Amino acid sequence: MKNSTDIPGPSDCDSNKNADSPQIRYRNLYESDDKIYIRKVKGFYQRIRRYTGIPLLVAFLILPWLQIDGRPSVFFDLPQRQFYVFWVTFGPQDGMLLAWLLIISAFALFTVTALLGRVWCGFTCPQTVWTLMFIWAEHYCEGDRNKRIKLDKSPWTLEKILRKSGKYFAWFLIAFVTGATFIGYFYPIADVYLGFLPTMLDTGLIVFSGNATVIFWTLFFTGMTFMNAGFLREQVCKYMCPYARFQSVMYDNDTLAVHYDVERGENRGPRKMKEDYKAKGFGDCIDCSWCVQVCPVDIDIREGMQYECINCGLCVDACNSVMDKMNYPKGLIRFTSADQLENGATHYIRPRVFGYFALLMVMVTVFVYTISNREPVTVDVNRDRGARLYKVQGDKVENVYMIKVHNMDRQAHEFDLKVEGDHPFKIKRYRAVPIEKNEIFSFPVRIVVDREKLDSVKASLTFTIVSKEDDSIVASETTTFIGPELE
């Protein structure tokens, strides 16, 4: 076991006692893991990684720059409490919809995991994508695995300083663009970058010209990305990611994952090409350890399925390349199921997968229907807290209300306000004003009624707003009108 220390037990102190008893292996939980040097490999699954990871990476980088209706295509405006996702705007009242969207994403992950294992982790997880970008910079500046090992063991020279500096500079550039882009989802991204332009104060001190809070959080996420993808890497997948811990409850014997074909591969051992290795009792595994050298989480897939495995397929591509060189059939390590290895068949349609998929389709359908049929305007009516319950002026009784209108349509509107209720209520001094798209506008309204018309202390009152430009855009809310005690 890696980083395990064989510590003699009490029996080992006396060679005459229990000489044949097995040694106890201890693991120091505070001992740091050895640095992982990943071998560069090409293959089918690495091409899939590029076809899936690169589009997601490009989308992450360009979405804050892409404009829709004069604002970023995806933008989370926290001060205004407005979340823009393409053509849909979510407000504070849409918290349930956002929670629903997260639940749908979770069930999509469960469905994919039950069918294909941790392919999200291996191919599209941001942790994996950014780690691979950092590893690419490492390969470019320091060379492949053996060169990096030799470089780290060599004394400090000018070449080593230049190579290390180049690597860290490339890491910093990637991390800075990542941090600035992430903040660009919460603050105009052009202003994020412009904020890092230096400016000179009257005192001669040179400082950044941007918002201090934006600069702080940009540098914070730059540092976190630099540390995470540069140094933590597999530690995140092993110890920090909760997905690795509960994935086992979603796996079954028919879940596709990376497996080593023990029956075909054992016994392992080196041999010469074109040698009759089977006559010597060897299997197809030549024990080259390439599958371990390319693994980003430093496990040996030949020891069986392990929770650290992210199903990235690197060991599959490495093993297939070795099988090609040895003229052996591919697939010693491959994506397959435990049932396929044991019984020769994988059951793709099974109750668990069907249940996940059916529930996912129902939730997606209801969510899309709710979004597509959502009213473009909402109205919220509250009694003005700064006013008395009611006010009597002559023969009139007056209540004050605070009307909040949220225009979620993609254009500005002026709204007519109407009131209906148990009595002939009237609006006192209301003037329609334009409410811009995605704007939340609040204004007070005074409602009056003849005192003689009131036959109860409380009466029902309904406010209705209608767009002057499109009478199909309408919203209403019912509240209570309060009057004096009846004599």
DSSP secondary structure string for all residues of 94-127: GHHHHHHHHHHHHHHHHHHHHHH-SHIIIII-HH
Is the pLDDT reported for residue 160 higher than 80? yes
- pLDDT score recorded for residue 356: 86
HSE-CB at 8 with a 13 A cutoff on CA atoms is 9
Q: How confident is the model at residue 487 (pLDDT cuts 50, 70, 90)?
A: low
Average pLDDT over the chain, rounded to an integer:
82
- pLDDT score recorded for residue 4: 40
399-419 average pLDDT score: 82
Is the pLDDT reported for residue 306 higher than 90? no
Write the DSSP symbol of residue 238: I
Q: How confident is the model at residue 177 (pLDDT cuts 50, 70, 90)?
A: very high
- pLDDT score recorded for residue 386: 60
Do residues 192 and 180 lie in contact, with contact meaning Cβ atoms separated by under 8 Å?
yes
CA dist., res. 68 & res. 395, Å (int): 53
146-159 average pLDDT score: 90
436-446 average pLDDT score: 80
Is the pLDDT reported for residue 171 higher than 90? yes
Amino acid occupying residue 217 = W
33-55 average pLDDT score: 85
Is the pLDDT reported for residue 1 higher than 70? no
Is the pLDDT reported for residue 303 higher than 50? yes
Other CB atoms closer than 10 Å to residue 53's CB: what's the count?
19
Is the pLDDT reported for residue 451 higher than 50? yes
Q: Which letter, b or e, does each residue of 465-487 get, where b requires 16 or more Cβ atoms within 10 Å of its Cβ?
A: bbbeeeeebbbebebebbbeeee
Do residues 207 and 198 lie in contact, with contact meaning Cβ atoms separated by under 8 Å?
yes
CA dist., res. 340 & res. 319, Å (int): 19
440-464 average pLDDT score: 81
Give the CA distances from residue 146 to residues 41, 191, 326, 364, in Å, rounded to whole numbers and listed in that order: 13, 44, 22, 49
* Sign of the C-alpha dihedral computed for residues 191, 192, 195 and 196 taken in this order: negative
398-406 average pLDDT score: 84
Is the pLDDT reported for residue 29 higher than 50? no
443-459 average pLDDT score: 80
**Which residues, 6 or more positions from 230, have their beta carbon under 8 angstroms from its beta carbon?**
134, 171, 175
Higher pLDDT, 239 or 325: 325
Burial bucket for residue 161 (CB in 10 Å: 0-12, 13-18, 19+): exposed
Tens of pLDDT along 326-345?
A: 889 998 999 988 888 888 77
Instruction: With 0.75 as the threshold, say if the pTM is over it.
Output: no
72-80 average pLDDT score: 84
Do residues 336 and 256 lie in contact, with contact meaning Cβ atoms separated by under 8 Å?
yes
